[in-house]
DNA sequence: TTGTAAGCGTTATCAA
DNA sequence: TTGATAACGCTTACAA
């Protein structure tokens, strides 16, 4: 790989002159500028960004730490962050902690395990002098990512920073639960069952809150028997189906598409027609939701928007001298209702 | 971020002594070693890998260039590469070219567009002195990635290097087409239709080759009317269904799960029962294949295996002094037949 | 056993 | 308008 030094030799000027030209300094004669730039283009010279980083304080590199790249929610977020950064001429560097890959579900209540991977990752990014760090969680939790005296801008995506010093960008689960329940009510349903996610989960809790709010607005009494807890997996949708249906609900709100598929399984087995005899909605808008029959009405999580918003905020912090102490907001990105054929108008 | 210099100051030794200790050099007294290591641990010192790279020739960093991170095939491959590298104490750096995101399908026959992103990406990785580059394609093509006189090890994954100087790791499409056709034949099918991918595509061509080979072995005449071309998308599965069924086939091999879903759509509409009146197989083993009804028999692409194999070969090249000129192989990773309920025994 | 000094690719300061 | 020189964080001969 060609270096500044070699270019300087070829052009018979000093290294600093080449450096000045490349950095757009004004004090260079037009003639040498042309000569140097030509060689730069011919040789396809690329600066070593990390060598620049050693010298300058700003690197224009943003570190992205993801809990696990192999989650359906992570890649679109990361892709959007990268797209936005590219547009504004920032580079990114990705650290994939692979937490689920390493420990399945056993790490996020285990600060020890968690920090044994997170801390070195942060240190690594700091040591290579990234300008800021975006932390991308795998699911919504309150997360202790960055210390309060963190020197560079940090932001938490798809999770909530336990410290108010850092911005968080999350989906608006409460509104999501509210919207989808309102929709069911608008379709004439008043006995609406829920197959929720795991009980202690933030997504679960907030969506239930939204569900309750919608019921309340319509003066429908909240019946806790209508709410069952699954574990986000398909079998749990199947498992909760029977007893929930016995309650006489006319519609069921599954908190993800996968559990809705499990519910479909049960209903198919019993010959109960989705979208006819009973209505079902999901959450996530995964590919499966439009492939199962009937197409599943669901709430799309706008992952690209989340990522873009995070990148936008990060770069804004970077460009407008960042004040570490300021208290930051929680940005909520709304979900988008995708209407398919799984809900029937109830008379 | 703490540096070698600061550690040296704290311990009141020279920078080189600290460096020697961290690099396991033998010529240090046990006493100072202890003293320094303690400070290193306390401060959580992390070396700047890129500063190391500037100085040393080997960085233990592997560059990964992906055509687009937002493809279902890319993330598992990348995850597996990262996992393997982590195990052997290599770091990775990811460049996401986002080619589909930028240009949809219009880039891969346009060398101009393609190189306008690829070349800078390679240059960037070279400038930061990665030890080797893994190129991860979005679909199987012959790709001109690296120049023949490339100085560091390169490897092409999920695509085939046009130069024999670079190893390629791909799925065994021919065997995949063969295996799944053999399976259908073993289930008593002799008139087997195909909804293929796009005609010029390598996956398509090789799977058809495997299909033909299987037919040939069983002395079944190859009938070109049984082979229809789709575009990998769901509607094309639907579109090709009618005329193909008119040919009187008893089973249909769709070259991906998504087109199989399109075929399911058609069959459902016509009241033809999959797994009863007709048999269907797919390819990819995406999540949808086990969510649609009946569960789709399909060929799993072992993406993690592909990634792991690629990483293994890359690191092997790195550790056993790489000889650039040697001609390299094409490694083929078999697919895995996943049997569900979409194929019926034909009497 | 330890430290000095040079060098990796780059930028910044300052003198010529 | 240009170029020495020092510095960034690190490794490595080589000298002490």
Q: Which residues of chain B make contact with A68, given a CB cutoff of 8 A?
A: 79
- pLDDT value of residue B327: 73
Q: Which residues of A touch B286 (CB under 8 A)?
A: 287
B322 pLDDT more than 70: no
Asked if B270 and B287 touch (Cβ cutoff 8 Å), the reply is no
Q: Which fold has domain B173-301?
A: Rossmann fold (3.40.50)
Mean pLDDT is lowest, of A52-56, A228-232, B330-334, for A52-56
Looking at domain B4-47, what is its CATH homologous superfamily?
lambda repressor-like DNA-binding domains (1.10.260.40)
- Contacts with B46 from chain A: Cβ below 8 Å: 120, 123-124, 126-127
Nearest-CA distance A11 → chain B (Å): 20
Nearest to A79 among B69, B82, B86 (CB): B69
- pLDDT tens, A271-299? 999 999 999 999 999 999 999 999 999 99
pLDDT at A127: 94
Residue bearing tokens 């290097």: B161
Best A6, A53, A94 residue to mutate vs chain B (most B CBs within 10 Å): A94
**Which residue, among A68, A71, A118, has the nearest Cα to A232 in the 3D structure?**
A71
Tokens read off for B253: 């091999």
Residues around strand C, C-beta < 7 Å: A 1, 3-5, 15-16, 19, 22-23, 46-48, 51-52, 54-56; B 12-17, 20, 27-29, 31-32, 51, 54-55, 127
The whole-chain average pLDDT of chain B stands at 95
| Nearest-CB residue to B50 (from A76, A128, A293) | A128
Q: Which chain B residues are within 8 Å of A129, Cβ to Cβ?
A: 1, 48
> Dihedral angle at the C-alpha atoms of A306, A312, A318, A324, nearest 10 degrees?
-50
| Positions of chain D reached by protein Cβ under 7 A | 1-5, 7-13
Q: How far is CA B125 from CA A271, B24, B248, in A?
A: 58, 28, 54
Residue of B nearest to A125 (CA): B48
Fold of A56-171+303-333: Rossmann fold (3.40.50)
What are the distances in angstroms from CA A338 to CA A210, A223, A295, B70? 18, 26, 10, 21
Q: Of A71, A288, A92, A287, nearest to A159 (Cα)?
A: A71
**What are the structural domain ranges in chain B?**
4-47, 56-171+303-333, 173-301
pLDDT at A321 over 80: no
Q: State how far Cα B177 lies from the chain centre.
A: 18
Domains A56-171+303-333 and A173-301 share a fold: yes
A32 CB-to-strand D distance under 7 Å: yes
Q: Average of pLDDT values for A81-88?
A: 97
pLDDT at B321 exceeding the cut of 80:
no
Q: Determine the distance in angstroms separating the CA of B128 from the nearest CA of chain A, rounded to an integer.
A: 5
Q: Is B70 exposed, middle or buried (CB count within 10 Å of its CB: 0-12, 13-18, 19+)?
A: buried
Structure tokens at A123: 């240190």
Q: What confidence tens digit (pLDDT) does each residue in B158-177 have?
A: 999 999 999 999 999 999 99
Q: What is the pLDDT of residue A26?
A: 87
Q: Which residue in B46, B51, B82 is closest to A54 by CB distance?
A: B51
Give the Cα separation of B102 and B108 in Å (integer): 12
What are the pLDDT digits (tens) for A190-221? 999 999 999 999 999 999 999 999 999 999 99
- Give which of B138, B140, B192, B217 is closest to B171, Cα–Cα: B140
- For residue B243, give every residue at least 6 positions away whose Cβ sits within 8 Å of its Cβ, in sequence order, or none: B228
H/E stretch holding A79 reads helix A74-87
A147-201 pLDDT, tens digit per residue, is 999 999 999 999 999 999 999 999 999 999 999 999 999 999 999 999 999 999 9
Residue B325 has pLDDT above 70, yes or no: no
Among all protein residues, pick the one whose CA is nearest to the C1' atom of D2: A17
The nucleotide closest to B28 (CA, C1' atoms): C1
Mean pLDDT on B19-37: 91
**pLDDT tens track for A38-72:** 999 999 999 999 999 999 878 999 999 999 999 99
Please name the residue whose C-alpha is nearest to the C1' of nucleotide C2. Answer: B17
What chain B residue is nearest to A83 in terms of C-alpha separation? B98
Beta-carbon contacts of residue A56 (< 8 Å; ≥ 6 apart): none
The pLDDT of residue A323: 65
Per the structure, the residue whose CA is closest to nucleotide D7 at C1' is A55
**Which position has the higher pLDDT, A227 or B321?**
A227
Of B44, B51, B288, the CB nearest to A287: B288
CA A119 to chain centre: 20
Chain B CA closest to residue A121: B46
The predicted pLDDT at position A27 comes to 84
Q: What's the pLDDT at A322?
A: 64
Residue in chain B closest to A47 (alpha carbons) equals B127
Residues of B with CB below 8 A from A50's CB?
48, 50-51, 53-54, 128
Over residues A12-30, the mean pLDDT reads 92
CB–CB of B127 and A48 under 8 A? Answer: yes
Question: What letter would DSSP give residue A225?
Answer: G
Give the H/E segment covering residue A83: helix A74-87
Confidence of residue B347 (pLDDT cuts 50, 70, 90): confident
Average pLDDT estimate for B180-205: 97
pLDDT of residue A320: 83
Judged by DSSP in three states, A109 sits in coil
pTM: 0.95
CA A55 to C1' C11, in angstroms, rounded, equals: 6
How far apart (Å, rounded) are the C-alpha atoms in residues A257 and A268? 16
pLDDT of residue B57: 75
| pLDDT reported for residue A231 | 97
Q: Which residue is nearest to nucleotide C3 (CA to C1')?
A: B14
Q: In 3D, which of A330, A313, A336, A305 has the Cα closest to residue A80?
A: A305
Q: How many whole angstroms separate alpha carbon A297 and alpha carbon B56?
A: 57
- For B132, phi then psi, to 5°, come to -160, 165
pLDDT value at B26 more than 90: no
Strand ranges, E, within chain A: 61-66, 91-96, 132-136, 142-143, 154-157, 160-161, 167-171, 192-196, 227-229, 251-254, 279-281, 298-300, 330-333, 336-338
Using 50, 70 and 90 to split pLDDT, how confident is the model at B323? low
What percentage of chain A carries pLDDT values higher than 70? Answer: 98
Q: Is A185 helix (H, G, I), strand (E, B) or coil?
A: helix
The tens digit of pLDDT for each residue in B269-318 reads 999 999 999 999 999 999 999 999 999 999 999 999 999 999 999 999 99
Q: Which nucleotides of C are covered by protein (CB under 7 A)?
A: 1-5, 7-13
Q: Which nucleotide's C1' is closest to B56 (Cα)?
A: D11
């Amino acid at each position: 790989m060609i270096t500044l030094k070699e270019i300087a030799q070829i052009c018979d000027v000093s290294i600093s002159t080449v450096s000045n030209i490349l950095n757009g300094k004004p004090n260079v004669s037009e003639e040498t500028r042309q000569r140097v730039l030509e060689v730069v283009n011919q040789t396809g010279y690329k600066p070593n960004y990390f060598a620049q980083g050693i010298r300058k304080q700003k690197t224009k590199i943003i570190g992205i730490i993801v809990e696990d790249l192999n989650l359906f929610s992570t890649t679109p977020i990361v892709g959007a962050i990268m797209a936005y950064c590219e547009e504004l001429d920032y580079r990114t560097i990705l650290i994939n902690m692979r937490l689920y890959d390493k420990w399945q579900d056993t790490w996020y209540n285990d600060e020890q395990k968690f920090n044994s991977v997170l801390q070195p990752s942060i240190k690594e990014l700091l040591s290579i002098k990234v300008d800021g760090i975006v932390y991308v969680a795998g699911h919504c939790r309150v997360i202790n990512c960055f210390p309060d005296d963190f020197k560079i801008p940090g932001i938490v995506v798809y999770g909530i920073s336990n410290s108010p010093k850092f911005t968080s960008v999350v989906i608006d689960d409460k509104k999501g639960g509210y919207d989808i329940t309102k929709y069911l009510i608008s379709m004439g349903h008043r006995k609406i069952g829920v197959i929720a996610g795991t009980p202690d989960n933030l997504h679960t809790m907030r969506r239930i809150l939204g569900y309750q709010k919608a019921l309340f607005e319509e003066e429908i009494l909240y019946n806790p028997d209508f709410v069952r807890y699954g574990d986000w997996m398909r079998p749990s949708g199947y498992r909760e189906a029977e007893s929930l249906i016995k309650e006489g609900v006319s519609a069921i709100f599954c908190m993800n598409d996968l559990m809705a598929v499990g519910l479909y399984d049960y209903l198919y087995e019993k010959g109960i027609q989705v979208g006819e005899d009973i209505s079902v909605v999901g959450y996530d808008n995964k590919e499966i939701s439009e492939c199962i029959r009937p197409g599943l009405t669901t709430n799309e999580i706008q992952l690209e928007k989340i990522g873009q918003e995070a990148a936008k905020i990060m770069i804004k912090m970077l460009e407008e001298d960042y004040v570490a102490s300021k208290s930051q907001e929680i940005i909520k990105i709304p979900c988008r209702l995708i209407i398919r054929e799984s809900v029937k108008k109830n008379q």
